[in-house]
């Protein structure tokens, strides 16, 4: 996420989020396209919970995935360790990922200095997502993965947890630099599995210069791995987010029979060599779309992501679309067209 909401043209989005949280504007409490970046979702009981980039991690809830109510942020104050990673950190936390495992919820999140790979992924746990439940308490467990300029040619942001066929946990992550990575975690999901871990590269795009201190031109981020049938499907976002009308964000996909890859696209190109089949891109209604997650609820797969609304000055908003699969096992998303038909 060469990242995130400090670029010109989108500060008003977070001002609106702040107003929604502080004074509970009715127009914000329930809306079909809430202003979010990097959304992930999970269901507890009869409620869906959405987590997204924002102050302390933005949280929303819904009974129907259409009408959303703002919930308390995960962190009222920045995690105690955050300033040791990014000295000027102001509790604006990026790109969370939510999973239920071992009787509790695991929430991974990103702390970073804008435009640098001075970054770390932390994890917090909770027994419940219902803020009114007496058991509701977020417990922070600190750093899982950290990247340091001059030491690492990757960026520790945009986490996504996945389990392989042996129920071994893996964490994928990354943005720009040398691409997207995946690393094995310990069974407790709180740290990497080895003191000398193997950082598998799963996606990489060509860069004109591989400078340790710069992100470079290889615009790729936001891995999300979804198991279906015999394959692991790796979704990633190419090109540029966060630029309002100038956003060029798009989603691509590849697949592999192994969680560490190699991931191949429809044409047989490896994603570590710049491959990736287009899933969804911007159009006249949405300047760009990306940073997606994928879920199955009641037998239906869903694609959850954000897009830059062309009818509203390029503001970033929540999108949820049904995900189908073609005869060869590749994901397909059909989005509504203005005339009431379907645009694929």
How many Cβ atoms from other residues are within 10 Å of residue 29's Cβ?
14
191 burial (CB, 10 Å; 0-12 / 13-18 / 19+) is middle
Q: How far are the Cα atoms of 46, 64, 113 from residue 61, in angstroms, in the given order?
A: 10, 9, 29
Q: Is 301 a catalytic residue?
A: no
Give the separation between CA 145 and CA 226, rounded to whole angstroms: 21
**What is the phi-psi region of residue 149: left when phi exceeds 0, alpha when psi lies from -120 to 50, beta otherwise?**
beta
Give me the catalytic one of 152, 158, 221, 309. 221
Residue listed under structure tokens 């009408």: 67
Query: Catalytic annotation on 164?
Result: no
> Hey, what are 17's tokens?
């989020």
Q: Measured between alpha carbons, how far is 74 from 110 in angstroms, rounded to an integer?
A: 13
Q: Which string of b and e fits 81-119 if b means at least 16 CB within 10 Å?
A: ebeebbeebebbbbbbbbbeeeeebbbbbbbbebebbbb
Q: Is residue 239 a contact partner of residue 201, using CB atoms and an 8 Å limit?
A: no
Distances (CA, A) of 188 to 84, 123, 141, 275: 24, 11, 11, 33
Closest CA to 321 of 65, 82, 56: 65
d(CA 3, CA 237): 13
Q: Which of 38, 97, 146, 152 is catalytic?
A: 38
Nearest CA to 227 out of 198, 262, 268, 256 is that of: 256
Helix (H, G, I), strand (E, B), or coil: what is residue 23?
Answer: helix
Which residues are marked as active site? 38, 221
């Amino acid at each position: 996420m060469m990242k995130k909401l400090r670029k010109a043209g989108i500060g008003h989005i977070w001002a609106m989020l702040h107003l929604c949280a502080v004074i509970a504007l009715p127009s914000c409490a329930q809306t079909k396209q809430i202003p979010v970046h990097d959304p992930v979702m999970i269901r507890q009981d009869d409620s869906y919970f959405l987590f997204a980039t924002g102050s302390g991690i933005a949280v929303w809830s819904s009974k129907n995935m259409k009408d959303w109510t703002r919930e308390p942020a995960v962190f009222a104050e920045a995690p105690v360790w955050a300033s040791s990673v990014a000295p000027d950190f102001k509790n604006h936390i990026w790109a969370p990922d939510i999973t239920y495992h071992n009787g509790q919820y695991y929430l991974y999140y990103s702390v970073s200095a804008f435009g640098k790979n001075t970054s770390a992924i932390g994890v917090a746990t909770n027994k419940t997502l219902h803020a009114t439940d007496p058991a509701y308490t977020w417990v922070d467990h600190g750093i899982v993965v950290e990247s340091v300029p001059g030491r690492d040619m990757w960026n520790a942001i945009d986490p996504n947890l996945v389990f392989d066929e042996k129920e071994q946990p893996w964490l994928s992550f990354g943005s720009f630099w040398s691409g997207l990575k995946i690393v094995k975690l310990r069974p407790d999901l709180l740290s990497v599995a080895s003191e000398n871990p193997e950082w598998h590269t799963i996606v990489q795009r060509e860069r004109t210069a591989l400078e340790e201190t710069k992100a470079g031109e290889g615009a790729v981020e936001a891995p999300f791995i979804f198991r279906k049938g015999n394959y692991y499907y790796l979704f990633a976002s190419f090109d540029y987010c966060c630029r309002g009308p100038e956003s060029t964000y798009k989603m691509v996909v590849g697949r592999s029979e192994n969680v560490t890859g190699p991931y191949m696209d429809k044409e047989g190109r490896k994603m570590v060599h710049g491959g990736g089949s287009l899933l969804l891109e911007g159009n006249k209604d949405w300047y760009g779309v990306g940073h997606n997650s994928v879920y199955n609820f009641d037998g239906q797969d869903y694609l959850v992501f954000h897009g830059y609304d062309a009818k509203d000055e390029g503001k970033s908003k929540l999108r949820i679309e049904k995900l189908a699969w073609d005869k060869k096992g590749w994901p397909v998303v059909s989005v509504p067209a203005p005339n009431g038909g379907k645009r694929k």
